[in-house]
Amino acid sequence: MEGWTPRTWTGLAALSALLSVAFGAFAAHGIESWKAVEWLKTGAQYQMVHALAVFGAFALHRAGAKGMGLVTALFFVGTLVFSGSLYAMALGAPRILGAITPIGGLSFMGGWALMAWRGFSMPSQA
């Protein structure tokens, strides 16, 4: 996480949340294909949750919690791959692109698993 400043992560997480709202609005008002709408809604939902998770994980990283820098990166990569592939298919990319969507899901799950492991490994506060 060296070189990835609070400014960088805050900007990326906020941009991610902004894009989530934009794609969600596009799903609701700008597209007619039911399958494309579903892909956009799913991508937007997961993107928003993980934009907020990036804020939280990076805050924990800055507070000194071990492993949270990697959690932050896993959440962000998951968003790019999972939501990005769904958005691309909704906008007309070949459906074969859906083959990489689960890689983004695995990145999300890896981030949550690492966060849980590190959370349970934290020293107890008296």
What are 84-125's pLDDT values in tens digits?
A: 999 999 999 999 999 999 999 999 999 999 999 999 998 887
Sequence-ordered strand ranges (E) for the chain: none
| Under 8 Å between Cβ of 23 and 44 | yes
What pLDDT score was predicted for residue 15?
97
Tokens of 111: 């981030």
Cα–Cα distance for residue pair 40/53, rounded to 1 Å: 20
Which residue type, as a one-letter code, is found at position 98? G
For 25, how many CA atoms within 13 A lie in the half-sphere containing its CB? 6
Q: State residue 126's pLDDT score.
A: 47
Distance from C-alpha of 5 to C-alpha of 1, rounded to nearest angstrom: 8
Model-level pTM greater than 0.85? yes
24-68 residue pLDDT tens: 999 999 999 999 999 999 999 999 999 999 999 999 988 889 999
- Given a cut of 70, whether residue 3 has pLDDT beyond it is no
Interatomic CA distance for residues 107 and 77, integer angstroms = 7
The angle at the Cα of 86, spanning 81 to 91, to the nearest 5 degrees, equals: 125
Widest Cα–Cα separation across the chain: 56
| Cα–Cα distance, 60 to 37 (Å, whole number) | 35
Please tell me the distance from the alpha carbon of residue 44 to that of residue 30, in angstroms, as a whole number.
14
